[in-house]
Amino acid sequence: MQIFDSDGVEIAYLDEGAGAPILLIHGFASNAHVNWVHTRWVDVLVKAGRRVIALDNRGHGQSEKLYDPAVYEAPTMADDAARLIDHLGLGSTPVLGYSMGARISAFLAMHHPEKVSHAIFGGLGINMVRGIGGSEPIAEALEARSLDGVTDATARAFRQFAEATGSDLLALAACIRSSRQKISAQELSGIDVPALVAVGTRDTVGGDASELAALIPGGVAFDIDDRDHMLAVGDKTFKARVLEFLKDNA
């Protein structure tokens, strides 16, 4: 992993392969390696002739850990991605985000349109607009001394995942309190690039893909068959559809 300075915050990223670039933005409590290397996304994209850049979002992986919720708003993390694009001199590039990374990618496309040529939103459908639910139980689970007293099933699953990825639990608690800004239908209508929305058919977190795609002028939906939120990210049909989407909109 390499490091660059994003307005005073150290952001780690990997840069592999050659050819046309694509930027990957991971989900909450994950990191570039868990979300994109272990699921073979990097391997698939590099073999397809892509230069793959994947960052660790602030507070995640090898990037700097911060403990103030105010610095974890999704538009702020989108600014980190925009600065990485500038740092590497990529120009306008496709961006693939999963879950929280899809929300960050949407803000990147809205606030820095000159930097995004294609947008791929994985694991987050209409709930990008409607909201996912309260974040406080998850934050409290991350701050708990152990799992023993965590009874909320969703919060417990996030705590277990965060422990499995070796994450800084307090940094993630700060992040979850601020990173779930809703995006209005009107804002999404201003995304002026081809956009693919891909969500698992058993994903109870992301919401329907078609409903979100319908709000984006260049939006198309893809249902990742029989996959929930955790399993959809590495699905081979998802990878194939992304490659097809990039080729069709080259």
The closest alpha carbon to 45, from 62, 29, 64, 23, belongs to 23
pLDDT tens digits along 189-233: 999 999 999 999 999 999 999 999 999 999 999 999 999 999 999
Whether 98 is in a domain gets the answer yes
> H helices within the chain, ranges in order?
32, 41-47, 74-88, 100-111, 127-130, 136-143, 153-164, 169-176, 185-188, 209-213, 229-232, 236-248
Whether 189 is in a domain gets the answer yes
Number of neighbours of residue 102 by Cβ within 10 angstroms: 27
List Cα–Cα distances, 20 to 163, 176, 187, in angstroms.
35, 33, 28
Percent over 90 (pLDDT), the chain: 90
Average pLDDT, the chain: 95
Whether 139 is in a domain gets the answer no
Whether 103 is in a domain gets the answer yes
Q: What is the CATH number of the domain that holds 36?
A: 3.40.50.1820
Whether 35 is in a domain gets the answer yes
> Structurally, how many domains does the chain consist of?
1
Q: How far is CA 18 from the centre of its chain?
A: 22
Q: Yes or no: say if 199 and 124 are a contact pair by the CB < 8 Å rule.
A: yes
Q: What is the mean pLDDT of residues 5-17?
A: 98
Residue 36 domain boundaries: 2-129+181-248
Q: Which pLDDT does position 154 carry in this prediction?
A: 85
CA distance 107 to 114: 12
pLDDT tens digits along 109-164: 999 999 999 999 999 999 999 988 778 999 999 999 888 888 888 889 899 999 99
pLDDT tens digits along 89-98: 999 999 999 9
Q: Which pLDDT does position 16 carry in this prediction?
A: 98
Whether 134 is in a domain gets the answer no
Q: Yes or no: say if 105 and 119 are a contact pair by the CB < 8 Å rule.
A: yes
Whether 154 is in a domain gets the answer no
pLDDT tens digits along 171-193: 999 999 998 888 999 999 999 99
Whether 34 is in a domain gets the answer yes
Q: Which pLDDT does position 149 carry in this prediction?
A: 82
CA distance 60 to 249: 32
